Amino acid sequence: MTDPARATVVPVALGSRAYEIVIGADLIAAAGAELARRFPGARYAVITDETVAEHHLDRFTAGLADADLGYSTIVVQPGESSKSFETLASVVDGVLSARLERGDLLIALGGGVIGDLVGFAAGIVRRGMRFVQVPTTLLAQVDSSVGGKTGINTRHGKNLVGLFHQPSLVLADTAALDTLSERHLRAGYAEVVKYGLIDDPAFFDWLEIHRGEIFAGGPARAEAVARACRAKAEVVRIDEKETGPRALLNLGHTFGHALETATDYDAERLVHGEGVAIGMVLAHEFSARLNLASPDDAVRAARHLAAAGLPTTLAEVPGGVGTVDGLMQAIFQDKKVKRGRLTFVLTRGIGKAFVADDVVPELVRDFLADKLVG
């Protein structure tokens, strides 16, 4: 078991909202003692889903009991469908029924869905409670657990209802990744690759060399998580509310979210990281089409993602992705749209992403039409 005192610690410097990301093996079992040390006298509501509960809930709550911490548990259905008003209401009701006070904490034990849902609940219950992220997927450890973006989905699109609410602590247990299916490990890896493609070509070079070791576990996996967390922490420090450079973290997400909407958030067909993988390739290909980047960079990005077992084309989505009109409708619901103008994260090459305002919709439509035919 990793002693939290010896784990890798990545600070997120946000003044009065600052917190730490603690990265190490078997932190789930050690969480009780760590929480007791950091938040003396607090009680907890541990929120998770049925799948995560089967693997981790007993170990986590045993640690709370050993530390003599009061807690209740709330277990929801797994999957993207739980990012809904209905599930949010059930979580809020569970927290209030447990009589937690404003100074107590919610625990998000799970992947990105649980983190987004619990963070949103924490932000609105009693006008704001503290919460701790305990991400159990690679995607959540390197992306969604850090930065305070929370929310739920609606029929109009993904993450359209939510708020910024920073956690008080992130405990990233790298050993928890051993319980993931190969598919979900690959999906999380897409978010790791994203940091290299945005502004760190040396990291992308490193990933091309160490991809196999990351999937096998061990030091390379922990290093990849730490490097990704440091990259995100720095962006969040500069632009907490996504008014500027933080938008770069959405590389591939405008296309990817549209694909998730087109597949009705059906995890059998497409999970978030797979949508992001396709979206990042599309962003590079669209950039090449606009003569902003070399087609060779798009090929290189696609080759690496494909080698990791990720889909890179629209044709690889089971059941298809619908029509151009449907995809464009979803793209126009993206949170980065301003006064009806499209904003995309595009690139001038590997590690050279930038935010492009006022992208001509007809060019996006023509591009997608060609990709659907191809």
284 assigned binding-site residue = no
209 assigned binding-site residue = no
Neighbours of 74 (CB within 10 A): 22
Q: What is the rounded CA–CA span in Å between residue 67 and residue 37?
A: 9
**In 3D, which of 268, 273, 311 has the Cα closest to residue 142?**
273
261 assigned binding-site residue = no
Determine which helix (DSSP H) or strand (DSSP E) holds 145, and give its type and residue range.
none
Let me know if 263 is exposed, middle or buried by CB neighbors in 10 A (0-12, 13-18, 19+): buried
194 assigned binding-site residue = no
191 assigned binding-site residue = yes
Q: What is the rounded CA–CA span in Å between residue 97 and residue 232?
A: 35
2 assigned binding-site residue = no
Burial 24-63 (b: 16+ CB within 10 A, else e): bbbbbbbbbbbbbeebeebbbbbbbbebbbebbbebbbeb
278 assigned binding-site residue = no
152 assigned binding-site residue = no
Q: What is the rounded CA–CA span in Å between residue 282 and residue 41?
A: 50
Query: How are beta strands 19-24 and 169-173 bridged, if at all?
Result: parallel
Please state the φ and ψ torsions of residue 222, each to the nearest 5 degrees: -65, -40
Q: What is the rounded CA–CA span in Å between residue 252 and residue 191?
A: 10
116 assigned binding-site residue = yes
Chain position carrying tokens 């060609």: 370
55 assigned binding-site residue = no
Residues annotated catalytic, as ranges: 127, 149, 191, 232, 242, 246, 250, 253, 257, 272
115 assigned binding-site residue = yes
Q: What is the rounded CA–CA span in Å between residue 24 and residue 191?
A: 19
| DSSP-derived secondary structure letter, 125 | G
54 assigned binding-site residue = no
Binding residues for Zn(2+): 191, 253, 272
Binding-site residue ranges for NAD(+): 112-116, 136-137, 149, 158
Binding-site residues, in ranges, read 112-116, 136-137, 149, 158, 191, 253, 272
